[in-house]
Amino acid sequence: MQRSFDDLGVPLHEVTFCVLDLETTGAAPPQSAITEIGAVKLRGGECLGTFQTLVNPGTGIPPEISFLTGITEAMVQPAPWVEAVLPSFLEFLGPAVIVGHNVRFDLRFLQAALAAAGHPALPNRWVDTCALARRLVRDEVPNCQLGMLAERLRLAHRPTHRALADALATGDLLHALLERAGNLGVLGLDDLFELPTVRAHPQMGKLRLTNGLPRRPGVYLFRGAGGRVLYVGKATNLRARVRSYFGGDDRRKVSQLLRETQAIDHVVCPGTLEAAVLEVRLIHRHQPPFNHRSKLWSRYVYLKVTLDEAYPRLSVVRSARAGDGCIYIGPLGSAGVARQVADAIESALPVRRCTARVPARPVAGACAPAQLGVAACPCAGTVSVAEYGRIVDRLVHGLTGDPSVLLEPLRERMAALAAAERYEEAADMRDRAAALARALGRQRQLDALRRAGRMEIEVLSTPAGGGVAQARRLVLTAGRLTGAADQLNLLEGAGDLSDEGGGPDRPLPRHLVDELSCVASWLETEAASVRVVHCEGPWSLPVPRLPRFEPAKGGARTH
């Protein structure tokens, strides 16, 4: 597939522009029609040719239009119809970028004429010099009309309300504006298309900080006073992504970020996986104040099944102890998420919920869940260790083998509540089931990655300019990007991020979950372009795909 101009980042001196101007009988088609077409083709500051013709509009020309343009009905009577003019104009235009002053006006007439003549719509990209002037010189002129700009900027050609003369003046204006835009780092065609959307705020001058950014995948760092890292992000096109912060984003935090930014650094990466991993590691290291995602790993928690006691229960804990014989789900994003997962499990199985020490003999005051009959708590004195052990066996089997043991009772309960028109309770049960399914699904993904050990993969990628796809090799060790990635400084910021848990059978350390989640997500997304070359351990998911309980996007939260 041919890549678009803004994909390629064509330097402006290599771009062919076709500056267009039309004269018409009125304000809008189809009530009005074209009376004259003028165009000039430019590249690298040189004129490659001009196009000019009168057009018979097939209708009268209002006196005020003739007075303004000097074009009379007698002048256009012998001129060709627009249908006869279009083929030669389209040949002159070719694939050039269209330029005009208030160019939407001209394009509206031109597209209408093409449609009436049975031609397809123009696919050409376009640039409006009026919008560029408002962004670049609005403070220097009373208005941005072409005549005023030609006078104040001392353009070589002056507009006369004739098509070719106005096109030549617009071409001069384009060159004058491109010179000014260059001071803001507008060096490629993609920069030029984006410039009219850039906000005219006090940080406009900081666009120069983006001058050295390439159009390649990688990670960018906004730095403040003293080189402090304010924000870390990743991008498939570093230049386009960073410059977009100066666009129409009015979020308060973005404005504050730009005010504090004094430099913008970047690291080019071979692909999106390397960029995603490096982003996570740098966020962990620098804890940038404007990042939210991936810097809260120290707050992650685990849901623990306390298999080291006679009557195991679920407990939310901040750290996992290797070798204690317990089962850990997580790390999970917050205590609230962990509690929701626990509620789902406790809704599926009558797991003990009380936290008090198990009494040697039954007591009169059993806990509330036991009194309600929703939990087999030992405080009620109605369940033996052996009977409770069978409940725990089902729980362990559901967490490590067959999730339907836990998810199917939730589905049945949700359906029963909906059938009884208890929709709010059904929605709450659905949310619990969804939280449990998400937690178990991620646990499966990350455990599978860690069990795979050292894995070499090849990924096919297409060069930025198109052409034959190329393969690059990546090395994953227990789910972490290693090997050749070290040579690309991708381990910068790793700090003390060693897997101190040790081994895939131990609980996953909190500081590794974001990185392994990036790898797992990337492998799932890029499965069609990835080939496993070598795998030290098993690489498979041990249970069937888990069901999804989330409602459809945009749907109401009902049954």
pLDDT tens for 477-491 read 888 888 654 444 444
d(CA 404, CA 495): 40
Low-confidence ranges of the chain (pLDDT < 50): 1-8, 485-501, 543, 555-559
- Domains of the chain are 5-191 (3.30.420.10), 202-294 (3.40.1440.10), 300-440 (no CATH), 450-535 (no CATH)
pLDDT of residue 364: 57
Per-residue pLDDT reduced to its tens digit, 464-515? 555 566 788 888 888 888 865 444 444 444 444 444 445 667 888 888 889 9
Q: Is 101 part of the annotated catalytic residue set?
A: no
- Enumerate residues 6+ apart whose C-beta is below 8 A from 525: none
Shortest CA distance to 437 belongs to which of 520, 315, 548, 304? 548
The count of other CB atoms within 10 Å of the CB of residue 73 is 14
d(CA 22, CA 100): 10
pLDDT of residue 89: 96
pLDDT of residue 200: 55
Considering the candidates 119, 157, 161, 559, report the single residue annotated as catalytic. Answer: 161
Shortest CA distance to 37 belongs to which of 49, 55, 19, 25? 55
Tokens of 395: 């729980």
Predicted TM-score (pTM) of this structure? 0.67
pLDDT of residue 545: 65
Half-sphere exposure of 248 (CA within 13 A, CB side): 3
d(CA 72, CA 75): 5
